[in-house]
Structure formats: C-alpha cells, structure tokens
Structure 1
Amino acid sequence: MLSIQDVLDYCDLDRGEIEAIAEHEHIPVTIAAELSEVLLCSPEGVCRLHTMIIENMTHALEQGKYEHVKSLSQTYEHLQRTHPIPANMNL
C-alpha cells in the first residue's frame, strides 16, 4: 500500500500545490495528486492550476483567513517558478 508521501513523491508538484488543488476541487489529496499529473500535460491544464490557486487565495481573503492567503501566496510563487503560464495563454 502506498502512503500519502509515496503518492506526493511521484508528482511533479509539491505538497502545497496538490493541497491547493484538493481544496479547490473538494477532493482528497490522493485524487488531487492524480489530477495534478493530468493538468500538467497541457498548457490549458497549467493555466487551470494557476487559476485554482488564485481562486483559493481570493476565497481565503474574502473569509479573512490571512495566514492561509499568505501560505497560498507562497505556493503560487513556487508554481510560477516551476510551471509558469505558457506564453501563448492568458488567465
């Protein structure tokens, strides 16, 4: 049986990014890890990842969860460095 860490180690995204997908989609982290690999296969999927985290930040800000906004901001900065929005795409 695989542990959650085994699943995360297999992914091209870090734990924070996968947790942000799980939060946005209201799914378990293991399913979010699988979804992350599918999304990374296309420019549209990469844009969708960026959008998910931005929407999570907006929602957290609206709820006054400023520490969560800060955490998501750091997660988003990492995503921007490792999987930037493709040049021909717009959010």
Structure 2
Amino acid sequence: MLTYNDCLGLSGLTPEQVAALARHEHLPEIVALEMGWSLCGTPEGRRRIRQMILDEVAAACRHGDPQGAARLGLALHHFLDAYPGSPAGTAAQDAVPPRDAVPQALGLDPGAASRVRERLDTYLAAMLQRFGLDQAEAEARFPAEMLAAAMCCASCTGTGRCRRFLSDMAGAEAPPAFCPNARLLAALGPRAERPGA
C-alpha cells in the first residue's frame, strides 16, 4: 500500500505546493496531491498550478502574513524549476510589471496602490541589487516569482529593518533575519539558471 509520502515522491510536488493547492481548492491534502499530480501532466495544468500558488501568495499577503507568502513564493520557484518549460501566465499577465500588478492582486484602492508602488520602487528594487539581481532581467526571467516577491514586499512590516540594512547602518541585520524574500532572492541570484531556459 502506498503512503502519502510515497505518492508525494511520485508526484514531483513538494509538501508546500500540495498544501497551497489544498488551501486554494478547499480540499484535503491527499485529494490535492492527486489533483496536482494530474495537473502536472499538461501545460495548461502546470499553468493552473502556477496561478493557484500565486493566488495563495496574494491571500497570505492580504491576511498580513508576508512570511507565509514568501514561503509560497519559494515553493512556486521550486515548482517552476522542477517543470522546465512550464507555461507562463498569459502574455497580458506577464507583460504587466509587478509594481503595477501587485495593487490589483492585493485588492488595493488607488491611494494605497500609489504607496505600494513607492515602497516597491524604494525597497524591493534596492534589495534586488543587494542580491546581485537586475530588476528588469529578473522580471523577464522569473515573472511569477518576482510578482510573488513584490506582493511579499508590499505587505511586509519590516521596512525599518530593511531601511537600516539598505543604508549600511552599523549593526543592521542581514536580510535573512528580517526579509521574507531573502531565501527567494538568493535562489534567483546571479547563479540561478532555470533549466531549459
């Protein structure tokens, strides 16, 4: 008899990815695992998984959980790496820069949207540079992951710690201590190459 972990290993999905699908579809994890395994078999299915994980990132951000959202962003990155050639979003979705897509994804009013764009221009752009990433190149190579990172940055409450780090203030903590996106940005860093890219 196969156990849940056996099925998980055969599916190629991670526990975090299955949990995101289960939350998104309001299913028990074992059912979400079967659904995910089935969806992984087609390009449209992989596109649906990508969108479900992005939807869960947005939901976590709307609920004030940028750490959880960042874990999902990293799970999304691992999913897209595991399935090279996975279809991106629609051309229209991927053409919208994250700084413009985030306010809509998070359901923000125009005033809040303006503040979020300013925050992304200030903090995310600078943090990307610190991780050795060119923003335009990262958005072109990793559109889904950059959208997830932008949503996390927009909902993060650690801007004071981020500001101290970015200004090279003495005693400032390193990003892993405060930045929800630190692990994802490190994974996307200059040495990161998407298989099949």
TM-score category of the 2 structures, normalised to the smaller one: 0.7 to 0.9
Is residue 5 of structure 1 aligned with residue 42 of structure 2?
Answer: no
Cα distance in structure 1, aligned partners of 2:80 and 2:10? 20
Cα distance in structure 2, aligned partners of 1:44 and 1:7? 22
Runs of 4+ deviating beyond 3 Å: none
Is residue 73 of structure 1 aligned with residue 100 of structure 2?
Answer: no
CA RMSD of aligned residues (A): 1.7
TM-score (norm 1): 0.86
Structure 1 letter corresponding to 2:77? E
Task: After TM superposition, list the pairs within 5 Å mapping 1:1-91 onto structure 2.
Answer: 1-84=1-84, 85-86=86-87, 90=90
Structure 2 regions of 5+ residues with no counterpart?
94-197
- Answer with 1 or 2: which has the greater Rg: 2
Aligned residues: 90
Relative contact order, higher structure (CA 8 A, sep 6+): 1
Structure 1 regions of 5+ residues with no counterpart?
none
Cα distance in structure 2, aligned partners of 1:18 and 1:56? 12
Cα distance in structure 2, aligned partners of 1:81 and 1:10? 17
CA shift for structure 1 position 39: 0.4
Cα distance in structure 1, aligned partners of 2:77 and 2:67? 15
Cα distance in structure 1, aligned partners of 2:3 and 2:43? 30
Identity in percent? 30
Cα distance in structure 2, aligned partners of 1:10 and 1:80? 17
Structure 2 letter corresponding to 1:59? A
TM-score (norm 2): 0.42
